Structure 1
């Protein structure tokens, strides 16, 4: 013999409880789903350039990022402008930055972004 479905009152109460459970967990879930972005500069300007700062802020807001990590490759740090080395020489440095970001925010999605040369790496 089949049991009768729960009364409408019970279903309504249950859906409220479910909604409360969803809203309570969605904030923590959203925090966990917030990506960490590693944003690499181009060959000609450091991460402190106006363009990079403006895009760092826009990426952070648009993606609800937990952090947008910017950095300077060794050839450009210290304020000297030199020609960048071949990309192969920068890959290890870039990979180290990525590994540190992953370690700092375990479980968060990772987004790699870059301007010009930084995007090619």
Structure 2
């Protein structure tokens, strides 16, 4: 079953100085991932921030963005207004940002496991009954 993957998990896979997920989890994610629409921008922003902080070179930003093409990514095609409304409700309920709540909303709606290293998002997912990778 495909999973929902957030930016924190994606950055951990690809940034060289991050603690990488275990091989079994990466294999599970490689089968295909669902992401909210803002995922691409959030991951790109993470790479740019890593470059600005001297963690990676500027040329590596483009290389890492290219590496994302190796993932089987399924962007969410649901009605954006409905998904955003539900994300806002979840954000208020669990004390998340709307950006993070969008991952939870997608995992709940699609009934898929969630891959994240975000502590608050993990806690919210468990409270909502979402399986974590």
Higher relative contact order (CA 8 A, sep 6+): 1
* TM-score tier (shorter): 0.3 to 0.5
Q: Normalising by the residue count of structure 1, what TM-score does the alignment of the two structures yield? A: 0.33
- Larger strand fraction of residues: 1
- Larger helix fraction of residues: 2
